[in-house]
């Protein structure tokens, strides 16, 4: 569930920090303050979360557009 706390914190997440994740799926913490995992596919991201002991049901998945993506949106798609 995406809460108001998540929306507020995610909107304040520095775009410069997302540059490291371009063209990848990331998982944000439930409060939207930090990236807890990443992967080139959702499957890779889920595997990374499992290895780190993170519950995939308690994070928010988001696609971070890469330079080759035809997108003007600053964020990505939420899953």
In the chain, where the domains are located: 4-64
pLDDT tens figures, 16-59: 999 999 999 999 999 999 999 999 999 999 999 999 999 999 99
Q: Residue 67: its pLDDT value, please?
A: 81
Q: How far apart are CA 47 and CA 69, in angstroms?
A: 24
Q: What is the pTM of this model?
A: 0.81
């Amino acid at each position: 569930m995406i809460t108001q706390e998540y929306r507020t914190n995610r909107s304040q997440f520095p775009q410069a920090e997302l540059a490291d994740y371009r063209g990848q799926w990331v998982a944000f913490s439930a409060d939207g303050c930090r990236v807890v995992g990443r992967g080139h596919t959702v499957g890779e991201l889920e595997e990374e979360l499992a290895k780190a002991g993170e519950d995939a049901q308690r994070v928010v998945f988001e696609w971070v557009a890469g330079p080759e993506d035809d997108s003007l949106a600053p964020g990505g798609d939420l899953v």
